[in-house]
Amino acid sequence: MFVAVISNGISAQVPRATAIVSGEAWLDSKGNRITAHAGSVLFHEGHFYWYGERRGKTIDEQPGVRAYRSTDLMNWEDLGTVLSKTTTPGDTLEVGCIIERPKVLFNRKTGKFIMWFHFEDKGRGYGPAKYGVAIADAPQGPFTLVRAERPNKGIWPANAQPAEMIASYQRPEWLPESMRIISIDASDKRYKRLIDGFNDGQEARDQTVWQDEDGKAYHFYSSEMNGTMHIAELSEDYLSHTGKYVRALWGQSREAPCVFKRNGRYYLITSGCTGWAPNPAMLHVSDSIWGPWKDIHNPWQGEEAMTRVSFESQGAMIFSLPNYKDAFVFLSDRWRPKQISDSRYVWQILEFKDNHAIINWRDRWDLSVFTPPSASDGK
């Protein structure tokens, strides 16, 4: 039992959670509501760290990124706000800016914790369309802002080049043979956003960062007015882009990217673009991180009324349990835009049918649903 102090000063027992119950109001070990929306989970040295958007009652009340720590994914200790907004006028992180979808990676080479997020400047709505990156020495922070800007300014994606460049273009060895490379004409309206992005930096809204087994990390972001996803390689220290990037899911208007890898293939679950309202998810697959990505299906199983709204949720991240085989947790948000702080979490496990991920709603579950590493060894 944890001991909670309630408002009249009397201590109360907070019972330990024994299951993950999607859609319920989740409490931390002190009995306070957990607020870590559109988040990510990182496993580090025996602990799960959950980072997410701290939200107040209204959409504008958002003090920064909150973190929690757990050993069982059910009982969470509040670590406080690990990336804070400031009250300094003109500061990039001045209260009023927007920080969404924070994702944290541990960089094995530098020993640093790197957070990437969607960033919007104060008072400018969702117009600036930037990414932010912050760094910390420890998983519990504090994180310090490194930069907030638009990515890949002055660089064309490898699979979409101006016609004059295509003429002498060498396909880079990292681009899959099956990848179509299109030639773009500056007067073609379909590519206006991409061309503007070349000049000003590409738009980056919903995003995630994902670390491959070889330690390389990639940034997936909805670009070109959320019409097309970009996939960009990160530098070895995970603090910037290398300039290698491609366009994916062209014109499909997908957001909320969540990535995982299984049996050497890359998978992506995305949502449609309908603001805070839920819509059908889509599972995409590719043999290479660079694509081409193929649509598979909406992974949610069940009644159409629920699958078409993804069980009233939108993806945030897919977390794979270290050392386990096929143990993936799909973290999603059930948004309540009228009182955003009351948004709920929908965490479900991925199952596999015909090699494709499916999601069967479970009212309650815990880590015992997965086969422990020792039992699956050698199978």
Residues at the interface with ligand DGJ (CB under 6 A): 38, 100-101, 206, 255-256, 275-276, 314
- Residue 303 has a CB neighbour count (10 Å cut-off) of 10
Q: How far is the CB of 282 from ligand DGJ (least distance, A)?
A: 14
Q: How far is the CB of 314 from ligand DGJ (least distance, A)?
A: 6
Residue type, 221: Y
Q: Residue 102 or 201: which CB sits closer to ligand DGJ?
A: 102
**How are beta strands 314-320 and 47-54 bridged, if at all?**
unpaired
DSSP H or E run through 166: helix 163-166
> Which tokens is 319 given?
């977390």
One DSSP character per residue, 48-112 reads EEEEEEE--SSTT---EEEEEEESSSSS-EEEEEEEE-B--TT-TTBBTBEEEEEEEEEETTTTE
Q: How far is the CB of 38 from ligand DGJ (least distance, A)?
A: 5
User: Which residue bears the tokens 């997965």?
Assistant: 370
Q: How far is the CB of 150 from ligand DGJ (least distance, A)?
A: 16
Q: Residue 54 or 244: which CB sits closer to ligand DGJ?
A: 54
The candidate with the shortest Cα–Cα distance to 141, out of 50, 234, 241, is 50
Q: Residue 41 or 321: which CB sits closer to ligand DGJ?
A: 41
DSSP H or E run through 200: helix 192-200
Counting beta carbons within 10 angstroms of the beta carbon of residue 275, is it exposed (0 to 12), middle (13 to 18) or buried (19 or more)? exposed
Q: Residue 101 or 219: which CB sits closer to ligand DGJ?
A: 101
Q: How far is CA 25 from the centre of its chain?
A: 21
- Spatial distance between the Cα atoms of 83 and 79, rounded to a whole number of angstroms: 11
Closest-by-Cβ residue to ligand DGJ is: 275
Strand partners, 149: 131
Q: Residue 116 or 191: which CB sits closer to ligand DGJ?
A: 116
Q: How far is the CB of 211 from ligand DGJ (least distance, A)?
A: 21
- Residue 361 has a CB neighbour count (10 Å cut-off) of 15
Q: Residue 13 or 274: which CB sits closer to ligand DGJ?
A: 274
Q: How far is the CB of 98 from ligand DGJ (least distance, A)?
A: 8
Q: Residue 174 or 276: which CB sits closer to ligand DGJ?
A: 276
Looking from the CA of 339 toward its CB, the CA atoms found within 13 Å total 2
Q: How far is the CB of 101 from ligand DGJ (least distance, A)?
A: 6
Name the DSSP class of 190: G
Q: Residue 28 or 206: which CB sits closer to ligand DGJ?
A: 206
Q: How far is the CB of 102 from ligand DGJ (least distance, A)?
A: 11
